[in-house]
Amino acid sequence: MNEKKQFRAIKGTRDITPPDSALWNWFERTARDTFESFNFREIRLPIFEETSLFARSVGGETDIVSKEMYTFADRSSSATPEGAPADPGDLISLRPEATASTMRAYIEHGMHALPGNVKLYYIGPMFRRERPQKGRYRQFYQIGAEVLGSSDAPAIDAEVIEMLMLFFQRVGLTRTTLYINSIGDKNCRPAYVELLRAELQKVKEQLGADSQRRIDTNPLRVLDSKVPHEQEIIAKLPRIADHLCDACKENYAGLKRELALRGITYEENWRLVRGLDYYTRTTFEVIAEGLGSQNAVCGGGRYDGLVELLGGQPTKGIGFAIGSDRSILSIQESGNLPQLPGLDVFVAWMGMDTYPTAVKIARSLRDAGFDVELPAEEMKFKKLLNLADRLGARYALIIGSDEVASGTFTLKRLSDADQKKLNEANLLETLRSERRGTRA
């Protein structure tokens, strides 16, 4: 039986098709422009890395590494015979995030020798085997930025946050809340974690299974819990702010001063610990309206010591990752969409004798920077204009035998049917001045 299989995108993945792709391109272009104006430069990273890179940096006990990575044995590069279990050192994973890769690249290319702070940004897909729902996918997209160097001045943290919030403002994502916290460093956090663990032991029986497990593996993560009946218990737990060492206290106060200097409003959230192991001191998160439970559009923080953990020199670092899928969803739901340029000119040529002129003028218009559709086959006038309309063209450029004979074109504005006869020079000028008008 010749039954045709209907292929579909794999669960948790999706296609971004036109016209949405134009919105995505604009979103990413705005990120590039904004980040580059802060002297950040792009780094393009591989989609897969050694599994152990993620285990070491993100943390083997995190959900991401322990259950969500797409991991496989790379047969071609390993000496493992077919069918034999692979050496864990040969396992590779699709990246669940890109900070680890950025650190690996920073070390591999000796970027510590570059002048000043190294400021990098990346854009691309990440992979986590989570349960798909609105705003949560297995292949999703992040735009991230990282600052690496010898300084942990709070002004660096504040500038990174300023850049992030400016980007959100530029893309119209304004119904947001910025949360900040400090989770201490290796001097003060271990004692706090032990205190937290001891307090959690006392209330263990009242907690759910996940939180009970985390008392042993990562007590800070209990503070992340969204389980309703645990909230009252968590509210009474000791707070890190009361247990920061003097250096961390000063650093956190410095961050708040620097944010005030930049006019950035924020809320402090002592429970903001973030899921990954590598964070120290500053953590932050941005949530947006209109997204339901998956409402975090950006997470970030400081990760001094991560480069060293991966075999590099002692280095300070801070960064964030924006979730593009959710950010764009939120912009779409707010209805605050940008006017993006579409098809400028539909070349409505009629009769084979006009075709060479149509091909030539299409090239001139494209050279001048306009988006042009040139029908590949001859069509009747009515059909041409109908198609121009349905394609959303701003103009139809009508070319009939008369026009060819007189060396002119008829430019018809489709919004109001206004029509002009123009030679090539005037045609280009008219379209250019219209474009200037729509940009102003």
Residues of this chain that interact with ligand AMP (CB under 6 A) are 97, 128, 130, 135-137, 140, 142, 296-299, 321, 323, 325-326
Compute the distance between CA of residue 249 and CA of residue 280 in angstroms, rounded to an integer.
13
Nearest of 363, 333, 331 to residue 428 by alpha carbon:
363
Output the six-digit token pair for 157.
């943290």
Nearer to ligand AMP, 165 or 365 (CB): 165
Query: Of 101 and 354, which has the nearer Cβ to ligand AMP?
Result: 101
For the chain, report the end-to-end CA distance as a whole number of angstroms.
61
Sign of the C-alpha dihedral, residues 266, 268, 272, 276?
positive
Contact indicator for 126, 96 with CB cutoff of 8 Å: yes
- Judge whether 147 and 52 are in contact, CB under 8 Å: no
Least Å distance, CB 295 to ligand AMP, is 9
Which DSSP symbol is given to 290?
A: T
| Nearest position to ligand AMP, beta carbon | 323
Rounded least distance, CB 326 to ligand AMP, Å: 5
Closer CB to ligand AMP, 92 or 298, in the complex: 298
- Which one-letter amino acid corresponds to residue 26? W
Cα dihedral 139, 144, 149, 151 in deg (nearest 10): -120
Residue whose CB is less far from ligand AMP, 140 or 168: 140
Compute the least distance from the CB of residue 406 to ligand AMP, in Å: 58
Q: Least CB distance from residue 16 to ligand AMP, whole Å?
A: 13
Q: Judged by CB, which is closer to ligand AMP: 97, or 162?
A: 97
- Both tokens of 15, joined, read 């296609």
Q: CB of 138: closest distance to ligand AMP in angstroms?
A: 7
Residues in the chain: 440
SS3 for 97? coil
Query: Given the DSSP bridges, would you call strands 395-399 and 409-413 parallel, antiparallel or unpaired?
Result: antiparallel
SS (H, E, C) 112-174: HHCCCCEEEEEEEEEECCCCCECCECCEEEEEEEEEEECCCCHHHHHHHHHHHHHHHHHCCCC
Query: In angstroms, rounded to a whole number, what is the distance separating the alpha carbons of residues 181 and 223?
Result: 13
Least distance (Å) between residue 364 CB and ligand AMP: 44
- What is the closest distance, in whole angstroms, from the C-beta atom of residue 62 to ligand AMP in the complex? 9
Task: Compute how many other C-beta atoms are within 10 angstroms of the C-beta atom of residue 290.
Answer: 14
Give the nearest distance from C-beta 184 to ligand AMP in angstroms.
19
Beta carbon nearer to ligand AMP, 164 or 385: 164
> What is the distance between the alpha carbons of residues 265 and 284, in angstroms, rounded to a whole number?
13
Task: Name residue 420's beta-bridge partners.
Answer: 411
**Closer residue to ligand AMP, CB minimum distance, 317 or 323:** 323
Find the shortest distance in angstroms from Cβ 179 to ligand AMP. 11
Q: What is the spatial distance between Cα 180 and Cα 385, in angstroms, rounded to a whole number?
A: 56
Tokens 């263990």 sit at which residue?
204
Q: Give me the least distance between CB of 163 and ligand AMP, in Å please.
A: 16
Residue nearer to ligand AMP on the CB measure, 171 or 431: 171
- Which CB atom, from 322 or from 399, has the smaller least distance to ligand AMP? 322
* CB of 133 or CB of 150, closer to ligand AMP: 133
